[in-house]
């Protein structure tokens, strides 16, 4: 895919030069925009491929990125991160769960705040996302949605566990992954 994008970038740049040299500013501008878009696509592919390798995974940046959309809401998001680095597959699972949990908090609760805890213990890593959204009115019980099933599936894929439910005046997502997942990725 990278080779195809490189070829498209080169052809677009060549067409931009021709359009500019012939005075066709409209097409020169369009080729410039297309070239910029292709450059962005190439950068995204490089980041994705680089991110698949553990040494290319910036866990802290991934966590901040996962929290970015939620920070634009009215819900105050706090982070306690005691994990410096995890294998790429654990980083991707944790950040997907953070994104899902915070999205659910914003969409489905009356929470004013949520706290993301990342804990590094001797034999495992833990993720806790706790909000203060309260419990639903009597008779309104949250259904097990696709997002919750996805969280549990991500934990199982890493030989870990996840529980989601009402806890301490709000909704909590708790995920625990053994550090053996570092060696036993499925």
**Domain-wise residue ranges, the chain:** 1-52, 59-178
- Tell me if the domain spanning 59-178 has CATH number 3.30.565.10: yes
pLDDT at position 120 over 50: yes
Residue 117 has a pLDDT of 97
Query: Average pLDDT, whole number, for the chain?
Result: 86
User: How are beta strands 161-167 and 76-81 bridged, if at all?
Assistant: unpaired
Which of 116-145 are b and which e, b meaning 16 or more Cβ less than 10 Å from the residue's Cβ?
Answer: bbbeeeeebbbbbbbbbbeeeeeeeeeeee
CA atoms within 13 A on the CB side of 91: 21
Question: Which pLDDT tens digit goes with each residue over 141-180?
Answer: 455 568 888 999 999 999 999 999 889 889 999 999 999 8
- Residues 6+ away with beta carbon under 8 Å from 60: 81, 84
Cβ neighbours, 10 Å, residue 38? 19
Question: Which pLDDT tens digit goes with each residue over 79-111?
Answer: 999 998 899 889 999 999 999 999 989 888 889
């Amino acid at each position: 895919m990278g080779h195809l994008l490189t070829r498209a970038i080169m052809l677009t740049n060549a067409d931009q030069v021709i359009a500019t040299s012939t005075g066709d500013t409209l097409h020169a501008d369009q080729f410039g925009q297309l070239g910029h878009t292709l450059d962005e696509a190439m950068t995204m592919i490089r980041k994705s491929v680089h991110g698949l390798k553990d040494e290319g995974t910036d866990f802290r940046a991934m966590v901040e990125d996962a929290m970015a959309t939620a920070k634009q809401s009215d819900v105050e998001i706090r982070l306690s991160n005691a994990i410096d680095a995890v294998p790429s597959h654990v980083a991707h699972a944790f950040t997907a769960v953070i994104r899902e949990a915070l999205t659910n908090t914003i969409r489905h609760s009356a929470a004013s705040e949520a706290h993301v805890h990342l804990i590094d213990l001797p034999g495992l890593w833990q993720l806790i996302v706790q909000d203060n959204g309260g419990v639903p009115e009597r008779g309104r019980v949250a259904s097990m949605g696709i997002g919750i099933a996805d969280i549990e599936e991500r934990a199982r894929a890493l030989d870990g566990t996840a529980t989601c439910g009402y806890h301490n005046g709000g909704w909590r997502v708790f995920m625990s992954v053994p550090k053996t997942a570092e060696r036993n990725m499925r």
